[in-house]
Amino acid sequence: MRTDKPAGVLFDVDGTLVDTTYLHTVSWAEALRQAGRPISMARIHRAIGMGSDKLLDHLLGDDRDRGGDDALRTVHDELMAGYASRLQPLPGAVELLRACARRGLRVVLASSAAEHELAKLRGVLDAEDVIDAATSSADAQVSKPAPDILVAALDRAGLDRSRVIFVGDSVWDVQAAGRIGVACIALTCGGTSRAELAQAGAVAVYEDPAQLLSDLDRTPLAALA
């Protein structure tokens, strides 16, 4: 049934639109190594997509002394800053944003990156003319897989959860969307398998933004436009 409510699509950014998942993995691995807490990159990779607080709890245990967490984040951020020149959109990412906007969908970046990191990611995407709203870590009290950042994105864009779809790349994205009843399309370009994303509850799974774009009019997004 048609409604007069606007429709929109929320996009995770890291690993979904910009190819950063493995850069984050390497940066966390080195930060943890320097702190004397070496952890395999395979384990770290599977936690990427959580907020940094949840990620560290997941990797180090939630009963630990958190006194060193800020130092770990600082080292991670410094290492990520060194990769700034390597940041690039994933195939089809910018074109996908523009295609959604042409179909009348509000385009919202539901990112939990820090504001300065989000600014870099937006610069890489170079699609400001079609981005209606965006969030950063400052907009959520609790990080993914809690849904706070998605709720903040909905509020900022003036959207109702019944008229949006979230596009993400991790099981944490899918779980966050599911907790507020928002459908999630998942992409495997962040390194999580199709089976894991589907099992987490994704309504559809594609390889990357380019594949989603090529099939756009046959995806759940088409019903919103």
Does 217 share its domain with 106? yes
Tell me how far apart the terminal alpha carbons of the chain are, to the nearest angstrom: 13
Does residue 5 register a pLDDT over 80? no
Rounded distance between C-alpha atoms, residue 168 and residue 198, angstroms: 12
Tokens, residue 60: 């180090």
Mean pLDDT for 25-47 is 97
Q: pLDDT class for 63, splitting at 50, 70, 90?
A: confident
Last residue of some domain: 85, 109, 128?
85
C-alpha dist (Å) from residue 177 to 132, 136, 164 = 20, 17, 10
Q: Are residues 81 and 99 in the same domain?
A: no
SS3 48: strand
Written as six digits, the tokens of 24 are 């984050």
Answer yes or no: do 127 and 110 share one domain: yes
What pLDDT was estimated at residue 62?
84
Greatest Cα pair distance in the chain: 57
CATH number at residue 194: 3.40.50.1000
103 found inside a domain: yes
Predicted confidence (pLDDT) per residue in 73-119, tens digit: 999 999 999 999 999 999 999 999 999 999 999 999 999 898 999 99
Residue-range definition of the domain harbouring residue 141: 8-20+87-224
Give a yes or no: residue 108 inside a domain.
yes
Query: What is the C-alpha separation between 72 and 52, in angstroms, rounded?
Result: 10
**Residue 3 belongs to some domain of the structure:** no
Assess whether 147 and 205 both reside in one domain: yes
Residue 2 located in a structural domain: no
- Residue 3: pLDDT band with limits 50, 70, 90: low
Asked if residue 189 lies in contact with residue 208, where contact means CB atoms within 8 angstroms, the answer is yes
Q: Percentage of the chain surpassing pLDDT 90?
A: 88
**Nearest by Cα to 93 from 160, 173, 9, 199:** 9
